[in-house]
Structure 1
Amino acid sequence: MGRRRPSALPLNSLGWSLAGALALALSLPPLGVYPLAWVGLVPLLVRWSARRPSWAYARELYAVLLAASCCVGFWVLFNPDPGTAALGGATLFLVPVPLTAAFVLSGAVRHRHGLGAGLVALALYVIAAEFLLLQTSVTLPWLLLGHTQVAGLEFIQIADLGGVSLLSLWVLALNGAAFLALPRAGRAGERGVAVAAFATLVAVPVVYGAVRTAQSDVPTGYTRVGVVQPGLSPRAWAEAPAEDRVELLARASDAFLARWRADAAAPDSAAPPDPAPPDPDAVRPDGLRASGYGLLVWPRASLPRPGSAAEAAALFETLDRWAGRRDLSLLAGARLPAGDDGEAASAAVLVRPGAPAATYLQMRRVSFADAAGVTGDRRALLDTGGARVAAAVGFESVFGDHVRRFTRDGADLVVVLARHDLWGRSAGLDQHLLFTRLRAVESRRSVVLSTVSGGSAVIQPGGAVTEVAGWMEPDVASVDVPLFRGQTFYVRHGDWLGRWALGLALALSVAAVAVGRYAPRPAPKRRKLAPA
């Protein structure tokens, strides 16, 4: 007697759906058990395939994904400002909306046109929803499916082809293959194909990453970067007078430069000497002199806030004299007057000997995390003489398309001035750091992350992370950062996958509405009259 096949798919319950959503949460930092995301959507897909699209199903799915949202972003409630904490908590309720909408809309396609069409529609709607989400700053772009893989260094190398959207599509494909591999009546052959597809999907990014690493470009040069981490608590940093903050950073910088000069003058015979600093008299093709000791980075909100353009000019002149005497370029976070009414904007200021001060005003802002104020509307590369820097302020580094535009314009180094330590030693530090790691892989550029209390790091173009200083540890780290000038496919074409998905999703929606409204309906069958 043959084995009886199950007539219904397993995992079809609310409890399994909740378990799948929590698996997605566990795949994100700080735990980062990224393989859980490869199958975390399977219970949701089973539930999706068995339920008719309805408001009841939408509410159920939203509640399940809200649980995952809270597990991932609960740290936003730790902000010392009650109003900001409340705004962050309210934002968590918006995080599940895009994924819920994608499941519900694709469920309508599945119900009318079958499982295969429904799965294709689901992929299109998810990628399109994530693309739209990344174009706004209204909600947290944390629960993107591609972000579940940021801890898997060997798997995220494909991001230089399509950014986080390609990683999201890859996660969806893995879950789709796992879903199709579940036992079904009369589907044994298809299950074997699904298992083979799952294994192939796992292998492809690993092979690509190995080939890409072997063919990695030779750096066009190196620039020495000194990252200053004050190591103060967020509250102590916020309450300290601006002059005290500058004095603290200047003393730490001078101590670092003194050590650097001593090491360069008398290197340790037991260790290889440091690379020689750039020639102070060297002149670049643009006629400007390269700074002798590279780039010094001070964290966000380091400088006093000037009240007017005249005060800002006086501040820049003072910094120029300080940097000139030390023969270095200084990149520091500031709040500068930018609006017509004097409203301030978060900014990065580059002071370089022999050149006017250059500024970049923050363009992208996450409402619950970044300081309120006006935003800039112009991308500006900050030229240190040894590198062309793309500065990202706050959570701007979460938006891949925003950062890659600087690289397309010629940036060969990315510096992030962040304050994600405002929430204490929370999961937010790891999440921001590893989400920023994708910017290094997407553009194949080195990324320097500077913070006040902890989490400062240098990310290599392949995604390897080197911590600069520990939590609440004051330090100045000197790193010789490799510079690259090539452009990846993602840098050249941006979020091409999201744009295509959005266009196809809109076309699919229009076609589905048209078919439902104008397609001829079969005539009702006539009932036969019983004989008298």
Structure 2
Amino acid sequence: MRERRVDLDGRELASPGRRRAVLVRSRRDQGLSHRPAAAGLQGRSWDRHRRHPHGRERTRDAVRPVLPRRVDVFPRRHQRRRQRAPAPRPVGPPPGARRGLPLGRRRARRVAVTGPSRRTGVLIALGAVLLALSYPPFHIPVLSFVAVTPAVVLLRELERAADLRRALRLGFWYGLVSQGLVLYWLVVALWHFTPLSALGYLATIAVYGLWTAGLFWLVVQSRIRFAAVPLWVLFPVVWTAVDWGIGHQGDIRFPWLGLGTSLADAPILVQWADLAGARGVTLWLAWCNVMIVEALLPREKGEGRSTIRWQPAAVVLLSIALAGGYGAWRERTLPLRPAGVVGLVQPNVGFREKWNHTYQDSIVADLFALSRRLHDSSRLDLLLWPEAAVPNYFVSRPDWDARLAQRGRETHTPLLTGGLDATSVDDYYNAAFFYDSTGDRTAYPVYHKHYLVPIVERVPFVPPRWFHLHWFGGFGKGRGLPLYPTAVGRFGVLICYESIFADLARGYRRGGADFLVNITNDAWYGRTAGPYQHLTHLVMRAIETRMGIARAANSGISATVDPLGHVHAATRLEVRTAEASTLVTSDVLPWYVRLGDWVGTLAVIATVGFAGALALQRWKSRRPQ
């Protein structure tokens, strides 16, 4: 048998006898016909691990067609490679082999081996349902450990099929459907801002679909090329890197509900987020999902036999026990201290009513009335009004500014309120204003929101002064992380969905903040899962930074969160109320604050390494021999 390498990443095998046969195998074409391989076709030329004893590349399928007649496919000038003795072969070719070998540039059609489309659809739908049920308002922590198992099952099947195009398609649909179910409330939320809400919703989940498509492709391709890297290593790393990428895509960043955040309703299991952050929990949960699949659906051994493996399940249970043990120890030993009594004003103003000039004076009067009710019942150390509580610019209504200053002088209670701030005709911001206990706000910088909601607050990647559109926002981006002093400590501000960005909370803690304040207007979520999902991010921020957090929401949910992630004094949705709650905080500076998002960074480096190795291998394979 004579063998030589060819340009298209394959080999030519030819016998020197009269019944010459030519075989060509491309790495891209894993199969050459629809018929199964003839038994013992190549004899000992393939070992039991399906590796050619004289070659370097591993094959994942058997060689199928052999032509029983002379076929001149390659120029004779290339036939100068080394000679080998022919391997034993059957007397005749398998039936239909003549029509099984594609010649020329036409590629063989792949046979899908991942199962019928109905089964694939069921797995995608099941993955979407499990992921949605693992997040608030549902409180089923066990689902976090199986939320992405359907994705793992699909990846295993795609790996066996070695079908990269199908991996891209299924990955896109998996991300689109699963995030479409989790983020269904976006249609309701965006409708308040633009009649194009459905397009914004579809664009958001399509971005998630593209990320998941890339994840599926990279995992399947890496498993094909680097079979020594197990899926329980590859999948969690790439999943965590994708989670990092979604939070770092410029003006369209939207890292809503990473997998690790799904376990926030079981704080004892995520206390170690003070070491590794929410992405560390994401990595762990993704690993648990793979190990559970490996335990329940082990790969076949022998002649189609499979057995349930108890080792992966035992390792998962051990990791859960370790996480719970650390959480129990931290809850007993973390030193906590009361920071003070915080007043949370929840006026429950409708979205359209807030910006109607007819109602603006009555809205401000109601805010003062709720504040007086709190002062009459409690001794407050800090008063919080929600995001955009002041329904106009102070330059347009200086009388409101004067009333707020007077309130501070009379009550000697600091106040933080949301509002709009304009520094010029073209530069305006979603802002927060701080009045100290003397009623002065001029001595303190105005906080401008850093992370703006795409489309709603700012058109992505376009300076807002370039054009003005009716249905799109043009807010400016804030700079700096000011800390506001009170008698009970210094605090930093997070406006609205800035609570989903861990880097802001870490920055405040490193800067010396004693606690955080989150002001938000969740009225545009309506009675959907949105307000509950929004609040759960603060559980992770509190644990990561070991700071207490006070939250004032226009329509709910207002609450305080202690450094252990426990929620206190939570209000109901769409209720006009005012609550006083004792805020608890800690002076411990956790390792996650000191080291930053080291888990996400390492996951990105490893994923880029896998992608680079694939690119290098492909480049080498295309080089002329």
- Partners of 2:585 and 2:145 lie apart in 1 by 34
State the distance in 2 between where 1:317 and 1:486 align.
39
User: Residue deviations 1:16-75, cap 9 Å, x none?
Assistant: 343133211211122242322312322322221221242232112221332211211111
Matched residues in 2 for 1:513 and 1:407: separation? 41
Q: CA distance change for structure 1 residues 457 and 11 in 2, over 3 Å: closer, same or farther?
A: farther
Q: Which residue of 2 aligns with 1:111?
A: 224
Please tell me whether residue 397 in structure 1 is matched to residue 514 in structure 2.
Answer: no
- Asked if 1:364 corresponds to 2:451, the answer is yes
* Alpha-carbon distance in 2 for matches of 1:259, 1:377: 38
Q: Secondary structure at the match of 2:272?
A: helix
Residue identity opposite 1:173 in structure 2: W
Choose from 505, 510, 516 the match for 1:408.
Answer: 510
CA distance in 2, matches of 1:445, 1:106: 37
2:298 alignment partner in structure 1: 183
Give, in angstroms, the shift of residue 452 of structure 1. Answer: 1.3
Deviation, 1:433, is 0.7
- 1:455 deviates by 1.0
- In the alignment, residue 203 of structure 1 is paired with which amino acid? A
Name the residue aligned to 2:183.
73
Match for residue 336 of structure 1 among 415, 421, 434: 421
Secondary structure of the structure 1 residue equivalent to 2:179: helix
DSSP 3-state at the match of 1:226: strand
* Aligned partner (choices 452, 470, 478) of residue 554 of structure 2: 452
Match of 2:210 in 1: 97
Q: Which residues of 2 match residues 234-273 of structure 1 at below 5 A?
A: 234-239=351-356, 241-260=359-378
Which SS does the other structure have where 1:94 is aligned? helix
Structure 1 pair 312–216 and aligned structure 2 pair: CA distance change class (3 A): farther
Distance in 1 (CA, whole Å) between partners of 2:397 and 2:278 is 38
Q: Could you say which structure has the greater relative contact order, defined with CA pairs below 8 angstroms and 6 or more residues apart? A: 1
SS at match of 1:492: helix
- The separation in 2 between residues aligned to 1:333 and 1:242, in whole angstroms, is 15
Pick from 118, 134, 148: which aligns with 2:262?
A: 148
**Secondary structure at 1:82 match in 2:** coil
Aligned pairs (5 A) from 1:135-284: 135-136=248-249, 137-181=251-295, 182-186=297-301, 191-219=309-337, 221-239=338-356, 241-260=359-378
Amino acid at match of 2:321: A
Q: Could you tell me how far apart the structure 1 residues matched to 2:344 and 2:400 are? A: 21
> Is 2:614 aligned against 1:512?
yes
Residue 95 of structure 1 contacts residue 143 of structure 1 at CA under 8 Å; is this kept in 2?
no
**Residue aligned with 2:377, SS:** helix
Deviations 1:453-489 (A, max 9, x none): 2211111211111244322322221112123222111
Mind listing any 5+ residue stretches in structure 1 that lack a counterpart? 1-7, 261-276, 278-292, 524-532
Deviation at 1:300, TM superposition (A): 0.9
Match of 1:324 in 2: 409
Q: 1:63 to 1:520 in 2, by over 3 A?
A: closer
Q: Is the 8 A contact 1:109 1:117 kept in 2?
A: no
| Secondary structure in 2 matching 1:147 | helix
Compared CA separation, residues 45 and 62, structure 1 to 2 (3 A): same
Query: Using the alignment, how far apart are the partners of 1:353 and 1:34 within structure 2?
Result: 43
**Corresponding residue for residue 300 of structure 1:** 387
Equivalent residue for 2:138?
31
What letter is aligned with 2:494? A
Q: Which residue of 1 aligns with 2:76?
A: none
Return the offset for 1:329.
0.3
Aligned to 1:130: 243
Corresponding residue SS for 1:102: helix
Stretch moving more, 251-260 or 312-321: 312-321
Aligned to 2:15: none
- Give the gaps of 5 or more residues in structure 2: 1-112, 458-472
Instruction: Please state how far the C-alpha of 1:105 moved relative to its aligned partner.
Output: 0.7
- Whether the 8 Å CA contact 2:389–2:554 is kept in 1: the answer is no
Note the alpha carbon deviations across 1:396-421, whole angstroms, 9 max, x for none.
Answer: 00111222211111111111111122
> Alpha carbons of 1:453 and 1:57: their partners in 2 closer, same or farther (altered >3 Å)?
same
SS at match of 1:450: strand
Deviation for aligned residue 1:109: 0.6
Q: Distance in 2 between matches of 1:342 and 1:295?
A: 33
Deviation of 1:315 after TM superposition, in Å, equals: 5.6
The alpha-carbon deviation at position 314 of structure 1 amounts to: 7.3
Secondary structure at the residue paired with 1:120? helix
Q: Is the 8 A contact 1:307 1:342 kept in 2?
A: no
CA contact (8 A) 1:228 1:249 kept: yes
Equivalent-residue separation in structure 2 for 1:307 and 1:229 (angstroms): 21
* C-alpha distance 301-521 of structure 1, shift in aligned 2 (>3 A): closer
Larger Rg over CA atoms: 2
Aligned residue among 147, 157, 160 for 1:40? 147
Asked whether the equivalents of residues 272 and 327 of structure 2 are also in contact (C-alpha less than 8 Å), the reply is yes
User: Residues 335, 522 of structure 1: CA spacing in aligned structure 2 closer, same or farther, 3 A cutoff?
Assistant: closer
Q: Which residue of 2 aligns with 1:479?
A: 581
Corresponding residue for residue 563 of structure 2: 461
**Contact 1:295/1:330 (CA < 8 Å) preserved in 2?**
yes
Letter of the 1:134 counterpart = G
Q: Which is helix-richer, 1 or 2?
A: 1
Letter in 1 for 2:183: G
Superposition TM-score, scaled by structure 2 size: 0.72
Structure 1 residue 210: Cα displacement: 0.4
8 Å Cα contact 1:11/1:46 also seen in 2? no
Is 1:62 equivalent to 2:172 in the alignment?
yes
- State whether residues 346 and 576 of structure 2, in contact with CA within 8 Å, keep that contact through their aligned partners in structure 1: yes
Q: Which amino acid aligns with 1:253?
A: S
CA contact under 8 A between 2:430 and 2:448: conserved in structure 1?
Answer: yes
Q: 2:222 is matched by which residue type in structure 1?
A: V
Shift of residue 194, structure 1, vs aligned partner:
1.1
Structure 1: distance between partners of 2:320 and 2:409: 53
Superposed CA deviations along residues 170-189 of structure 1, whole A, max 9, x for unmatched, are 11110121122123334979
Q: 1:70 to 1:331 in 2, by over 3 A?
A: same
Give the partner amino acid of 1:394: C
Question: SS in structure 1 opposite 2:138?
Answer: coil
CA distance in 1, matches of 2:398, 2:576: 30
Paired residues of 1:91 and 1:139 also in contact (CA < 8 A): no
AA partner of residue 433 (structure 2): V
Length, aligned pairs only: 481
**Distance verdict in 2 for CA 1:218–1:74, change over 3 Å:** closer
Supply the AA of the counterpart residue of 2:454. Answer: S
Q: Distance in 1 between matches of 2:184 and 2:315?
A: 36
Identity among equivalent pairs (%): 24
- CA positional deviation for 1:119: 4.1
Counterpart code for 1:477: E
Cα gap change, 1:143/1:393 in structure 2, threshold over 3 Å: closer, same or farther?
Answer: closer
Aligned equivalent of 1:274: none
